[in-house]
A and B are shown apart, each in its own frame.
Chain A
Amino acid sequence: MSTGVPEPVRIRLPWSDADLRRVKSGDRVLLTGIIYGARDAAHKRMVEALDRGEALPIDVKGQTIYFVGPTPPKPGEVIGSAGPTTASRMDRYTPRLLELGLKAMIGKGYRTRPVIDAMARHGAIYMAAIGGLGAKISKTIRSAEAIAYQDLGTEAIWRFEVEDFPAVVVYDLHGGDLYTQNQAAYATLQP
């Protein structure tokens, strides 16, 4: 990373209340511990299970979900390319998981207002990984296992053991919004 931005904050997962409160919009973080991977199809299936009154295949309480669908690993590799996918496609499902105690999400791009409000209500944060950084991010994943919905292939629920996984805090617990704040700082033209 270049100079001119503060050094990243190292976080050990699962999140402690103190760490969740400590990180602010614009902070770069390096996450170490367990994160779960899930994207469109897995989210749909999880919420359908909840609608039927069934339990989820993972306990999301206190956990971090990464919106990702990796490429297949080459022989001898843990995982293939594994960058973030667009988070707003999960917005329809996210509030249900927040109700169950999900504390953090990693994706890319904006979240919609109802999700931002639900995060505030439930004390959860949203981070962005750099979109298109799939090769670099794959090197921070020490182990990867499709632990549920394996029939969905890349869209299964994954359990990743990560070390120094890089992300930037977008929506923090204090009303901060990285995208809005930083874009306004450089905007000299409105369409």
Chain B
Amino acid sequence: MREIHVDRITQAVRDMVMDACVNLGPDMVRALDRARQTEKSPLGLAVLDEIVENAELARAERIPMCQDTGTAVFFVDVGQDVHIVGGLLADAINEGVRRGYRDGYLRASIVGDPFKRVNTKDNTPAVIHADIVAGDRIRIAFTAKGAGSENMGRLQMLKPSDGKEGVTKFVLETIKLAGPNACPPLVVGVGIGGSFDKVASLAKHAIMRDVGTPSHDPDVAAYERELLEKANQLGLGPQGMGGTTTALAIHVETYPCHVASLPVAVNIQCHANRHREVVL
């Protein structure tokens, strides 16, 4: 059985965290460039220009592009033919977060208890979702998830009779309510189906996808295009200051569900869409 030492995991997480917060990915750079070609509002275009300049400055001087360096969220796919040695997976990831946020001069934004609210000072613990998959590798996907956008997410258990129309209405209402608070232009993750817990996870998975990569399912991909077109007719624009670029992408993930249920969840990502993945 293939062995992976926890030190490799910690190192990979540290490096990924530090890079993601200063180096906006090529998927987002392309999406913002496209938006600059099509934005109709002069103020909206000016905002997009500022966002691009900020990303360039962040990369050149290694300053976090946004001061909210987020909750560290991980999706980990562990191949069932790999053996992790030297410690626990979760401890290794948290140690990587601790070192990355310290060495990268990133903000510690986590409080240890939701009511007592005392900062843990090292941005741990991370939120970690782990799945067992085929193979002998470990795939670790990370996002530094800012709270301004995270706070504007919503989940609802719709009735099957609400159908696609009901889902569309819920998604658009959520984007409209989020407005400038969520720092548009947005990347919107939509989960549809599963259960109460599963649908939230689907929505989070959806924002981790590279922007501009459509769903593998042609029907879902068409629905993503429809939602994006409608979202950009809402008028919110960059930073909610009016315009035609409210969202850069809408990603939809679906899952089978109960005969009586139509769960929908919307997870919102801001334009500082910091995500990375590594395979060990």
Contact = CB atoms under 8 A, between A and B. Distances in A.
A69 B50 contact: no
A154 B40 CA distance: 37
A110 B184 CA distance: 13
Contacts of A131: 66, 148, 180, 183, 239, 270
B53 interface: yes
B233 A188 contact: yes
A190 B175 CA distance: 11
Contacts of B58: 81, 134-135
Contacts of A31: none
Contacts of A187: 233-235
Contacts of B213: none
Interface in B125-165: 146-148, 151
B103 to A, nearest CB: 11
Q: Per DSSP, are chain A's interface residues mostly helix, strand or loop, or mixed? A: loop
Interface residues of A, number: 54
Interface residues of B, number: 61
Interface string B61-72: 111111111000
A154 B121 CA distance: 10
B90 interface: no
A81 B148 contact: no
Interface string A112-127: 0000000000000000
B240 A109 contact: yes
B268 to A, nearest CB: 12
A132 B54 contact: yes
Contact of B64 (A71, A139, A166): A71
B181 A110 contact: yes
A136 B53 contact: yes
A4 B42 contact: yes
B83 interface: no
Contacts of A69: 67-68, 107, 109
A55 interface: no
Interface of B: 40-47, 49-51, 53-55, 57-58, 61-69, 105-109, 117, 119, 121, 146-148, 151, 169, 172-173, 175-176, 179-181, 183, 230, 233-237, 239-244, 270-272
7 contacts: A2-B46, A68-B67, A71-B64, A72-B105, A86-B181, A109-B180, A136-B50
